[in-house]
Structure 1
């Protein structure tokens, strides 16, 4: 479907649904990234091996694929690779993050036309990187050894506001031009947004982000409905351009307002977790990705639970394509170490040691990756490949009809 430059609010759902199906049909890896529910359906149907470990109940990403890992900046401008999307975060079993990451890495290898043996090496490296973060004795993966990741990290370190403006809104003027990604608002939506940014909660967030005096005013300069992502298509989503200080002398901020919905990821039994979905996302972000969490708040907008976060120029994603075998293996170790660090910071030394012991149990003969991980990833790849082909068939039939 060709997207008109002016998508009317009444037609949003139709266009968003079509775009989601189109994105998921573009590749098997894209299908995996955009279909978290399929992954948890596989788990709920008892497909996981009996040896799947049950780790300590901690905050997990819940949708731990490679597209949700990338450089993230904190308030002081420091940049680290962290988890960058926490919509599915819950207090759950950390093994679920490992399975989802393993599936994503396997599909990335297939998309790069790498031989199957590479997947085995990647899972070995993945476990090595993850366990390294549970131990005090490990060597940090070197991003400089992975060309596509080094390139993105270097770009992230050098990016400024003008780069974000040029990427997101096409120029550095304080307007959001309507087009393929940004759509017009209704009068009610614009008024709701204006009142929201006049409120105390939003004002304090923007002032904190900008590290300016509390007395500085903020002003909503422009806003638009935002078509972004794949799994989030269909949810309430707005991009808002905010000016800080009189005559915007303290600069601009681009704010993302995203509806928070119920997570597909299962919750660990007998744990206390915010019932409000927006509060859940922010709590998970603070635990797993503090650089991102400190730039977020939970709120309500037009009766919906929403997460409000500032977009920073350094926040980017990795697009892994045409990887060499060595790059794929090193990437697996690096990404798993990021997840391991996010998990480990929530555990005491004794809990980390016990969890590492569980992970390493029941290894396959001659394979360093645990048997439960290898068996699960093989089954998941087969399940998602078949589901992806069926999705493509159904999408093709809908286009013909």
Structure 2
């Protein structure tokens, strides 16, 4: 097996992996390059967006950051599943980010521009429905969502273990995804999971006994995601209970860093980034917020959750025209519900009225949304090609053959 990086060798390897993932497609580049999006938001064009009510927003609302999440009681819903960038901010930012992601996915599916324009119209219709009536999940799911929901609701711990750690034995095999720990990291993890709050997190789900003993069986550095590569990320395998009644759970520990997403000027949020993520999850994604703990680990803020078999991401890269419309409408409705549940009736009406203004004669999407997405698609396409050029030169320098 290929030699795995030591803790002090991780950074250059992780950076190379991130660059490779972002070079695979324009959609992958958009998912991984949040910085370019936030730079645009801070620009004059970004400042021209309408200002909705100050609510918790995802901050990085692309397609891959939505998917099935399980509640502690076992129910499963599509919600926002990644909240690293969550802040109290302008809901228009989530709309533009989602529009950019959908448009890029549409381009990757070779859909014509006319269809992408209609996708944005359907996105706006779905989003607005959350502000014009009772909050509920849309009944008619697109096929891609039906497939991932069927998989989520039937998955078991054995399937999760096979997918994530290759086996149901109480170890995490070292591999390309799981790297060795330093002595300092291993000791810090044992101290972390000796805390009562973390023990309670392990016993909270699946009707485990509250006083069941919790044992740290194994842990590894977890190479996962794209924009988070290079941050602290760990997989921790715990045993809950003893003997034949022992249950296993896989904990996901992720470093919380300062959000690049613009926040509302007068917003009062926790200064600790892990607590910010926890509060954002509680407001935007109740299924996740109900089982996420903020903590300190090696002088860094981290947030911790048990990874459940039902927790999956939507992988929507190839779409046909009809499916693209349904996906845009459905996902925007999910985001709209997350925003709307935080607003009172007056704020909902005011924001809905703002969304319905400044529409073009032949396009139902607001002009500010359409113009923003067009501009961002162009700049990200240019950025993607430049990224690929730099990546190609770094891996195959001029004059190198083979």
Tell me which interval the TM-score lies in, with the shorter structure as reference length: over 0.9
* Contact 1:5/1:178 (<8 A) preserved: no
Give the match for residue 400 of structure 2: none
Partner of 2:241: 245
Displacement of 1:292: 0.6
Distance (Å, rounded) in 1 between the aligned partners of 2:109 and 2:328: 14
Which string of whole-angstrom CA distances, capped at 9 and with x for unpartnered residues, describes residues 320-354 of structure 1? Answer: 13210000110000000000000011001111111
Contact 1:259 1:307 in 2 (8 A): yes
Matching of residue 31 in structure 1 with residue 29 in structure 2? yes
Alignment of 1:44-83 (within 5 A): 44-48=42-46, 50=48, 52-83=49-80
Q: Report the Cα distance in structure 1 between the residues aligned to 2:10 and 2:245, rounded to whole angstroms.
A: 36
Distance in 1 of aligned mates of 2:136 and 2:199: 42
CA contact (8 A) 2:73 2:205 kept: no
Once residues 29 and 67 of structure 1 are traced to their aligned partners in structure 2, the CA distance between those partners, rounded to angstroms, is 10
Moved more, 191-200 or 384-393: 191-200
Does the 8 A contact of 2:70 with 2:288 survive in 1? Answer: yes
Structure 1: how far apart are the matches of 2:191 and 2:42?
A: 43
Q: Which residue of 1 aligns with 2:229?
A: 233
CA deviation vs aligned residue, 1:92-142 (integer Å, no higher than 9, x gap)? 000000000000000000111111111111100000000001111699544
Matched, 1:167 2:163: yes
TM (normalized to structure 2)? 0.96
- Runs of at least 4 residues off by over 4 Å: 137-140
Whole-angstrom distance in 2 between the partners of 1:356 and 1:5: 56
Residue of structure 2 equivalent to 1:102: 99
Alignment of 1:251-400 (within 5 A): 251-400=247-396
Q: TM-score, normalised by structure 1?
A: 0.96
Is residue 2:37 matched to residue 1:43? no
Structure 1 residues 228-268: Cα deviation after superposition (integer angstroms, max 9, x where no partner):
00000000000000110123724111100100000010110
CA distance in structure 1 between the partners assigned to 2:223 and 2:244 by the alignment = 27
Question: How far did residue 147 of structure 1 move?
Answer: 2.2
Structure 2 gap ranges (5+): 398-402
Distance 1:356 1:35 in 2: 30
Q: Does residue 15 in structure 1 map to residue 26 in structure 2? A: no
Which residue in 1 is equivalent to 2:114?
A: 117
Distance in structure 2 (CA, Å) of the matches to 1:215 and 1:282: 25
Q: Give the drift of 1:373.
A: 0.4
Alpha-carbon distance between aligned partners in 1 of 2:134 and 2:305, rounded to the nearest angstrom = 35
* 8 A Cα contact 1:143 1:150, kept in partner: no
* SS class of match (1:239): strand
1:176-208 Cα distance to aligned partner (Å, 9 max, x none): 101110011112211111121112121122122
Aligned to 2:183: 187
SS in 1 for 2:46: coil
Secondary structure of the residue aligned to 1:156 is helix
For residues 8 and 308 of structure 1, the distance between their equivalents in structure 2, rounded to whole angstroms, comes to 24
Counterpart-to-counterpart distance in 1, 2:115 and 2:3: 43
Q: In the aligned structure 1, how far is the partner of 2:91 from the partner of 2:134?
A: 21
State whether residues 242 and 254 of structure 1, in contact with CA within 8 Å, keep that contact through their aligned partners in structure 2.
Answer: yes
In structure 1, how many angstroms separate the alpha carbons of the residues matched to 2:118 and 2:349?
24
Shift of 1:8: 1.4
Over aligned residues, Cα RMSD in angstroms? 1.5
8 Å CA contact 2:233, 2:254 repeated in 1: yes
- Asked whether the 8 Å contact 1:132–1:139 carries over to 2, the reply is no
* Cα distance change, pair 378–178 in 1 and its aligned pair in 2 (3 A): same
Helix, strand or coil at the partner of 1:198 = coil
- Hey, what's the Cα distance between the residues in 2 that align with 1:229 and 1:248? 35
Deviation at 1:166, TM superposition (A): 0.8
Cα distance in 2 for partners of 1:139, 1:58 equals 19
Q: How many angstroms apart in 2 are the aligned matches of 1:227 and 1:246?
A: 30
Q: Contact (CA 8 Å) 1:296, 1:308: kept in 2 or not? A: yes
Aligned mates of 1:34, 1:188 — CA distance in 2:
30
Unmatched tracts of structure 1, length 5 or more: none
Shift of 1:4: 3.5
Q: How many residues align?
A: 397
Query: SS at 1:134's partner residue?
Result: coil
